[in-house]
Structure 1
Amino acid sequence: MNRPPGMMDVAREAGVSHITVSRVINGHPSVRPETRTRVEAAIQKLGYRRNSVARALKSRRSSTIGVVIVGSDLFELPRILLGVETAAKEAGYWVSLASRQGESTTGDLMETLQRLTDQSVEAIAVVADRPDAVEALSRLAIGVPVAVVMSGSVANPDLGFVEVDQELGARLAVRHLLDLGHRHIAHLTGALRTFDARARVDGWQAELAEAGAGAGAEGALLEGDFSAESGFRLAHELCAGDTRLPTAVFAGNDQMAMGALAAFAERGVKVPRDVSVVGFDDMKGAGYLVPALTTVRQDFTHLGSSAIELLVDMLGGEPPQRRRLTPRLVVRRSTAVPRTDS
């Protein structure tokens, strides 16, 4: 081995998970005695314990992970934090929260991160939906492991990334509509300053392009802001336009899809007879809209727990990684084959 042994090495030697190793190191009471003995034997064999303890004594470790929330409109933040707190507790860590509202400059982020490092946090998860926040992070020397949650990556080998594959999710939605026979698929986007909205546009465009011009696949793009109000407004624009109403709409998220359903109902447009609608997120209650919404499910709790797992790996000596979680299409009653006059 050309590097000091890490937590993953101990886990492999003991035949347990890295979370179990972390619990043993942090004195967590939930570890069975025989498992603790096996892990401690692996630590002694590999020499990991001596190095880890030396670092702990020098740094006065706090057993705390910092979480920075950048922005005020992050969808399903409570479920992300549930995953963060649950996984941190299982690994023997507490969580310290901080936030930056509105547009954050490099100086703003540095101040927030400095506040956390002054508390001796051992690692930091940054929950952000805007690439500019990640670009600001890439210019900072933070001194502890950092994992970015939700937003796209930048070229910085010191940062870890955990995200749901937004482009794949968009492609799943559009592929579902194409398979039903739709060729005119409009996309109502979220705010294009955000990573998620831009990635979903990329997926929509890529899937239409793969369908091929020969198949007649096309679609209009209208920008909203992820709110139900913007979905309502943009759907009205589609109905009032000079061109024919598309046979399908891929909304930037479920909130926008909900607004679009209300607008179509006002216009007398039947879903899915006249137009099919697909959302994104699978928000709570999406299955009880009228009609029940076909959408792309993101597991936000898993997203949060995966961020902590990545940080624990980095604390154990593993290099930063980019981890992409796979979304899943949930088919309900808001999609069907296109109308016959299309």
Structure 2
Amino acid sequence: MERRVSMADVAAAAGVSGQTVSRVVNDSPRVDPATRARVERAMTELGYRPHRAARALRTGRTHTIGLLASTLATVGNSRMLQALADAAATRGYALTVVTLGAEPDVAAAFERLSEQGVDGTVVLNEATAAVRDASLDRGARLVVVDSPPDDRFAIVQTAHASGARAAVEHLLALGHETVHHVGGPSDSYAAAERERGWREALRDAGRTVPDVARGDWGAASGAVVATELARGGATAVFCANDQMALGVLGGLADLGLDVPRDVSVVGFDDVADAAHYRPPLTTVRQDFDGLAERAVARLVHAIETGETGGTEVVEPALVVRRSTGPVG
């Protein structure tokens, strides 16, 4: 059997004491950056992996982060799961996941996470509404992705409203009189913010604000409302996510309408396949990796210092492709 690399091996390779290696492993601030880098380089070269259970006994921390989500079925949530797992791994943390399901019981979900020994929890998107309404321990180490201000936890979010505004202004600049909106679920903070940005952009431009066509984040709901949009004479549509935009594209094609000659369509997220839709989708790109990195960094800071609260906002970017064009 191959011998496990020890702290002593790392210390010898890095030219430091075993105590210094222990401090690096346990994230102690009492190591200067150059020494820390040398120790971490030796760990990588030797393939050293800290023994998680032993470290938990020494430090009282498991180096495990919880993720609480309503569902992982949506593309955005599954993308965030991957990004969070990657961001946690780079900091030496494992990730354990609990979903709320159709009938959320937040207390039971947090109990399950506690039983698994998590040091803190990231709460994702739609689950934030249930968490905001719950009675939370003031000392809970939580970072919430997408939430109104709340001093009980730290918040990391995309500037959804400004992303929506960029989409609307792009369509208006192409000569469209107004922009219709396919909104996400009414209980979603992100959907509400995107709808707010759409509405404010139209009002600021002095344009008519059409009724919202409501979807459920899925492509099928976008396909259903495509007929409604066509009957309403829409020439430009902003969808609250790319999956609904995909459904709108398919629904319009089934009606014999051309995109973008007859109707321009914009999505939100810039999922991996968006560039390969037919036509390639103009969309608002969310920085999922950036959101995850900031959420994990905030949570690790809370775990290590006990400091909670504060909000970080990540700006999205409009990506113009071939699904938008001038009025035909």
Match of 1:321 among 310, 314, 319: 310
Q: Contact between 1:134 and 1:153, CA under 8 Å: does it hold in 2? A: no
Match of 2:235 in 1: 247
CA deviation after TM superposition for structure 1 residue 308, in Å: 0.6
| CA–CA distance in structure 2, aligned partners of residues 64 and 288 of structure 1 | 37
Q: Is this contact kept in 1: 2:158–2:315, CA < 8 A?
A: yes
How far, CA to CA, are the matches of 2:37 and 2:272 in structure 1? 44
Taking the aligned partners of 2:182 and 2:33, their CA distance within structure 1 comes to 56
2:154 matched to 1:171? no
Taking the aligned partners of 2:211 and 2:109, their CA distance within structure 1 comes to 41
- Any idea what SS the aligned residue of 1:35 has? helix
Task: Please say if 1:285 is aligned against 2:273.
Answer: yes
| Pair 1:152-2:147 in alignment | yes
Letter in 1 for 2:173: D
Distance in 2 (CA, whole Å) between partners of 1:27 and 1:338 is: 58
Question: d(CA) in 2 for partners of 1:144 and 1:305?
Answer: 20
Counterpart in 2 of 1:19? none
CA distance in 1, matches of 2:140, 2:263: 50
In structure 2, what is the equivalent of residue 133 of structure 1?
130
**Residue 148 of structure 1 aligns to which amino acid in structure 2?**
V
Shift of 1:58: 8.9
TM-score, normalised via structure 2 length: 0.79
Deviations 1:62-114, CA, capped at 9 Å, x for gaps: 2222222223544333332222222222222222222221131xxx2112212
Aligned counterpart for 1:276 among listed residues 264, 274, 285: 264
Given that residues 72 and 102 in structure 1 are in contact (C-alpha distance below 8 angstroms), is that contact kept between their aligned partners in structure 2?
A: no
1 CA distance for matches of 2:200 and 2:267?
18
**Partner in structure 2 of residue 231 of structure 1:** 222
Contact 1:185 1:247 in 2 (8 A): yes
Alignment check: 8 A CA contact 1:294 1:330 kept:
yes
State the Cα RMSD in Å.
2.8
- The TM-score normalised by the length of structure 1 is 0.76
Is 1:183 matched with 2:177? yes
Determine the structure 2 residue equivalent to 1:121.
Answer: 118
**Aligned-partner Cα distance in 2 for 1:114–1:307:** 21
Q: Which letter maps to 2:140?
A: V
Counterpart of 1:267 in structure 2 is 255
**How far is 1:59 from its partner?**
6.9
SS of residue in 2 equivalent to 1:201: helix
1:44 — aligned with what?
Answer: none
Q: Do the aligned partners of 1:162 and 1:306 also contact (CA within 8 Å) in 2? A: yes
Question: Which letter does structure 1 place at the counterpart of 2:83?
Answer: G
Counterparts of 1:170 and 1:294 in 2: how far apart (Å)?
A: 12
- The change in CA–CA distance for 1:184 and 1:23 in structure 2 (over 3 A counts) is farther
Letter in 2 for 1:263: G
Deviations 1:206-243 (A, max 9, x none): 1001112xxx44434211212211111111112234xx
Task: Please state whether the residue corresponding to 2:269 is helix, strand or coil.
Answer: coil
Partner of 2:24: 24
- Moved >4 Å (runs of 4+): 56-59
- Separation in structure 2 between the aligned mates of residue 119 and residue 249 of structure 1, nearest angstrom: 45
- The CA distance in 2 between the partners of 1:324 and 1:263, in whole Å, is 34
Query: What SS does structure 2 have at the residue aligned with 1:268?
Result: coil
Displacement of 1:173 in angstroms is 0.6
Secondary structure of 1:96's match?
A: strand
Map Cα deviations across residues 41-62 of structure 1 (whole Å, 9 max, x no partner).
xxxxxxxxxxxxxxx8797222
1:169 & 1:37 partners in 2: Cα distance? 38
CA drift of 1:116 comes to 2.1
**Structure showing greater relative contact order (alpha-carbon pairs closer than 8 Å, 6 or more residues apart):** 1
The unaligned stretches of length 5 or more in structure 2 are 1-21, 40-55
SS at match of 1:279: strand
User: Percent same amino acid among aligned pairs?
Assistant: 39
**One-letter amino acid of the counterpart of residue 322, structure 1:** T
For these two proteins, the number of residue pairs brought into alignment is: 288
- For 2:95, the aligned partner's letter is V
Counterparts of 1:194 and 1:63, CA distance in 2 = 30
Aligned to 1:87: 87
